[in-house]
Structure 1
Amino acid sequence: MMKGLRQISVLTAVILGLFFVMLGLWAIDIGVSGMVNGLSVTNGWDWGTRTPIQQYHIGLWLVGIGTLLSVVSSIFGIVEWKKE
């Protein structure tokens, strides 16, 4: 078994990565809905207005970063587990 702090760190990184993936998929959904309906994307207070294409690409970046974070932390956890 990995030591307690390392185990918690790996688990936290995996959960954070999955959160980024879910947030990115949500952003992609909002961006595609805006592109299909021809709307701008805003947060409700008009200071965060962006085009649906920008929202879509933000979602793609979040999914990519979240996937990379989850994979790297999972590989780190497996390597540490195999050492013991």
Structure 2
Amino acid sequence: LCWAVNWIDNQLTNSDIVCVRCKNGVCRSVVVVVAYLISKGVDYSSAIHYVKSVWSRASPNPAQIAAIKKFENHLNTASFPKK
């Protein structure tokens, strides 16, 4: 997740357009977008709510939700490399 979030951030910083996609658009791409939003200071609940409001098929599985929350915890404890 850290690599994906940094990559997205670098692309957007360079004014590039980013499309995050996975095979079904239900889980993996959702995890990456939610993680990116969390890296920008949005809490998990707000991030997942926002993503679901614009992509109703968004439905990360329990293991992916746990990974997102672990990522959020890392951010909150400053163990994620910040730019």
Fold-level similarity (TM above 0.5): no
**TM (normalized to structure 1)?**
0.26
Using CA pairs below 8 Å that are at least 6 residues apart, which structure has the higher relative contact order?
Answer: 1
Higher helix share goes to which structure? 1
**TM (normalized to structure 2)?**
0.26
